[in-house]
């Protein structure tokens, strides 16, 4: 499920690229590049579960390890297999995609692995997520249909800011567990209220930038979701931060599906199967009010 935002920004970037060239593409653009990005992120997610196990267990996020469904060794083997798949795909992707994909891999590994451990360094955790999803994934999609990647980075700015605002609410959700485990996230350093206010500032800047650059899609998405990001500033609760994450993710996914309707054939069954599995295995709905990622 946590791959969906990356896929969505990839497709939004591709849609932006088609608008700038005046072309229309019916199928998913350069699926090999999308596969390579997916394999890189899967590798990163698996390693993150291993190295963040203590804080994840405190935040009730590490059920697959803590309940013995998988052992760390199994996740390592899965990560190696995913890395090999990414490597094979990398050697076959378009030359222009190699640089962003290499950057995605470096950032993904530095996020969880020592000594960098960006996930435990205030503001670096925020920047790496914002740039990785809203920047690199968007640029890869844009470059799949438009060779002008310089303009891709410019057009990605509203999405980078939106991801940054949304990410802060994930650190708010993890505040207690991260602090107890000694993991210094941005919210552990700043506090919950300051993080919620900063999220509003980032989200507001995303909306203003989208309006200033006349990016109608970014303006609609950031404008619709801005009130949701403002809400937790006045209602300080875990559920409000969870609502921000789910709503922003949903609106971004709908925007991607609007441009690429075939995306629904992947997302809808994935959500249905995920909810069925987690309901049967753990007794709650995911995606839903409870998170387990």
| Predicted confidence band of residue 60 (pLDDT cuts 50, 70, 90) | confident
Rounded (10°) CA dihedral 253, 258, 264, 268? 50
Q: In 70-185, which ranges are continuous DSSP H helix?
A: 72-90, 95-112, 124-129, 138-145, 149-155, 157-173, 175-181
pLDDT band at 25 (very low <50, low <70, confident <90, very high): low
- Give Cα 29 distance to the centre of its chain: 19
């300051």: which residue's tokens?
A: 194
How far apart are alpha carbons 56 and 204 in whole angstroms?
30
Q: State the pLDDT at residue 56.
A: 82
Residue with the bigger pLDDT between 236 and 115: it is 115
Q: What is the pLDDT of residue 19?
A: 77
Cis bond before residue 287 (omega within 30° of 0): yes
Residue 270, number of CB atoms within 10 A of its CB: 15
Cα–Cα distance, 112 to 125 (Å, whole number): 10
Q: Which of 18-27, 38-47, 215-224 has the lowest mean pLDDT?
A: 18-27
Reported as a pLDDT band with limits 50, 70 and 90, residue 27 is low
Report the pLDDT averaged over residues 64-85.
88
- Residue 167, phi-psi category: left (phi > 0), alpha (psi -120 to 50), beta (remainder): alpha
pLDDT at 293 over 70: no
Selection from 185, 214, 187 nearest residue 198 by Cα: 187
Distance of alpha carbon 139 from the chain centroid: 14
Over the chain, what is the mean pLDDT? 89
């Amino acid at each position: 499920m946590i791959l969906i935002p990356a896929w969505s920004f990839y497709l939004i970037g591709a849609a932006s690229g088609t608008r700038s060239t005046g072309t229309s593409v019916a199928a998913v653009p350069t699926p090999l590049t999308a596969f390579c990005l997916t394999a890189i992120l899967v590798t990163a997610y698996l390693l993150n579960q291993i190295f963040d196990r203590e804080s994840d267990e405190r935040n009730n996020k590490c059920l697959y390890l803590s309940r013995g469904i998988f052992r760390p060794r199994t996740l390592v083997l899965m990560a190696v297999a995913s890395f090999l798949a990414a490597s094979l795909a990398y050697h076959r992707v378009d030359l222009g995609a190699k640089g962003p994909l290499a950057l995605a891999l470096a950032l993904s590994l530095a996020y969880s692995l020592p000594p960098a451990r960006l996930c435990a360094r205030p503001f670096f955790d925020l920047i790496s997520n914002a740039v990785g999803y809203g920047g690199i994934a968007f640029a890869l999609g844009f470059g799949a249909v438009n060779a002008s990647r310089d303009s891709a980075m410019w057009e990605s700015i509203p999405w980078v800011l939106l991801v940054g605002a949304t990410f802060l609410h994930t650190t708010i959700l993890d505040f207690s567990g991260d602090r107890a485990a000694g993991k210094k996230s941005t919210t552990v350093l700043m506090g919950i209220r300051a993080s919620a206010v900063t999220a509003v500032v980032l989200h507001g800047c995303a909306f203003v930038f989208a309006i200033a650059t006349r990016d109608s899609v970014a303006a609609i998405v950031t404008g619709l979701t801005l009130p949701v990001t403002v809400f937790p500033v006045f209602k300080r609760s875990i559920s409000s931060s969870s609502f921000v994450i789910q709503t922003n993710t949903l609106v971004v996914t709908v925007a991607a599906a609007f441009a690429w309707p075939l995306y629904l054939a992947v997302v809808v069954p994935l959500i249905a199967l995920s909810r069925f599995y987690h309901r049967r295995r753990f007794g709650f709905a995911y995606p839903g009010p409870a998170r387990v990622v």
